[in-house]
Amino acid sequence: MHSLHALYINLKHITKIDYIFYLGQFDKFTDIPKNTTKKTGAYKEYLHAVKDYLVYFMERTRPLHNLEEDFKKSDTEIDRLIAN
């Protein structure tokens, strides 16, 4: 999570926050400025790093959980919402 915090505080137009506060806020993507920050390559890199960390965390802490099935369900739900 330290490396994710470092990526986060280096994003443009982001208020610099300490690590402990970041741990309570890292999953609140709606708080990030849409027009200035979310369109940058650094933000995409940050999102990929968060996803990779969370997948790795789930694989370590719940080795018997079928994460691929969860991803398929999420993809199906997203496709359904987009279609409507």
Q: What is the pLDDT along the chain (84 residues), one digit of tens a residue?
A: 999 999 999 998 888 999 999 999 999 888 888 877 888 899 999 999 999 999 999 999 999 999 999 999 999 999 999 988
Domain positions in the chain: 2-83
pTM for this prediction? 0.77
DSSP string, 46-71: HHHHHHHHHHHHHHHH-TTS-HHHHH
Give me the amino acid identity at 65.
H
Residue 10: helix, strand or coil by DSSP?
A: coil
pLDDT score recorded for residue 58: 95
pLDDT score recorded for residue 39: 82
Exposed / middle / buried, residue 68 (Cβ in 10 Å: 0-12, 13-18, 19+): exposed
